[in-house]
């Protein structure tokens, strides 16, 4: 297997790993308010998230940023809850374009936080090699981007089915899914080891 495929598959598995579903939950929260007609906007958001994720990995691999794992493990579910709560407060509002630049910036920032959560594992994969880390990082990022687009496509397809077949309004769908995501993620925050100390 080529080195490209190895890192690409690691990126795919990172997002699609059933045991590490926080990434999928964030993508669900990000995609739920959108539909297929908003595909350009959601692709930009997903790509910004990947860019943030990749920048965080690069800064971590180069040891420019070092952050405690338990802090990142608390921040990741917080980003998911913030995104889901944002959906609750904006569901059904027609003029979302005003806050779009803020959403782009926040998505990029949340990508950095999520990238830091994977940095130790990624450093272990690279090993102590002094060879270029940019190429494996780029290959990994392509795997992440592909997996995220798969997840977003599934969310948009499910959204389409629920709204057309079961006649849910877009607002109700967004509220139900966002509340579900909050319900799944809040225990991750409450049970984080940072509170045990």
Q: Which residues of 114-129 are buried (b: 16+ CB within 10 A; e: fewer)?
A: bbbbbbeebeeeeeee
Is position 121 within any domain?
yes
- Residue 96: the pLDDT is 54
CB burial class (10 A; 0-12, 13-18, 19+) of residue 157? exposed
Is position 23 within any domain?
no
- Residue 3: the pLDDT is 82
- Residue 97: the pLDDT is 58
Q: Which of 186, 169, 178, 28 is nearest to 88 (CA)?
A: 178
- Residue 19: the pLDDT is 86
Is position 125 within any domain?
yes
Contact 172, 27 (CB under 8 A): no
Distance CA 28, CA 183 (A): 13
- Residue 1: the pLDDT is 65
Helix (H, G, I), strand (E, B) or coil at 12: helix
197's CB contacts (< 8 A; 6+ apart) are none
- Residue 98: the pLDDT is 53
- Residue 20: the pLDDT is 83
- Residue 104: the pLDDT is 92
pLDDT in tens, 125-152: 877 554 577 888 999 999 999 999 999 9
- Residue 130: the pLDDT is 42
Is position 10 within any domain?
yes
Mean pLDDT by 10 residues, the chain (197 residues): 87 90 95 94 95 93 87 95 95 66 92 92 72 83 96 97 95 97 96 83
Contact 92, 155 (CB under 8 A): no
Q: Which domain holds residue 93?
A: 3-17+35-191
- Residue 76: the pLDDT is 96
Is position 28 within any domain?
no
Distance CA 123, CA 15 (A): 17
Is position 127 within any domain?
yes
User: Measured over all CA atoms, what is the biggest interatomic distance in the chain, rounded to whole angstroms?
Assistant: 56
Domain tally, the chain: 1
Q: Which of 74, 95, 96, 79 is nearest to 27 (CA)?
A: 79
Is position 130 within any domain?
yes
Is position 197 within any domain?
no
């Amino acid at each position: 297997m080529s080195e490209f495929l190895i890192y690409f598959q690691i990126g795919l598995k990172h997002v699609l790993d059933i045991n590490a579903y926080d990434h999928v939950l964030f993508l669900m929260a990000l995609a739920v308010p959108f539909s297929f007609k908003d595909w350009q906007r959601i692709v930009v958001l997903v790509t910004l998230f990947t860019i943030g994720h990749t920048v965080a990995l690069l800064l971590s691999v180069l040891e420019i940023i070092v952050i405690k794992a338990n802090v990142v493990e608390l921040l990741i579910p917080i980003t998911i809850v913030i995104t889901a709560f944002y959906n609750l407060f904006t569901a059904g509002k027609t003029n979302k374009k005003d806050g779009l630049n803020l959403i782009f910036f926040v998505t990029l920032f949340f990508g950095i936080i999520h990238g830091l959560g994977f940095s130790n594992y990624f450093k272990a994969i690279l090993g102590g090699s002094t060879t270029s880390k940019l190429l494996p990082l780029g290959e990994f990022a392509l795997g992440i981007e592909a997996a995220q687009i798969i997840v977003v496509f599934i969310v948009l397809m499910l959204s389409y089915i629920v709204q057309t077949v079961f006649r849910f309004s877009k607002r109700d769908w967004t509220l139900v899914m966002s509340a579900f995501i909050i319900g799944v993620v809040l225990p991750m925050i409450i049970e984080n080891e940072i509170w045990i100390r």
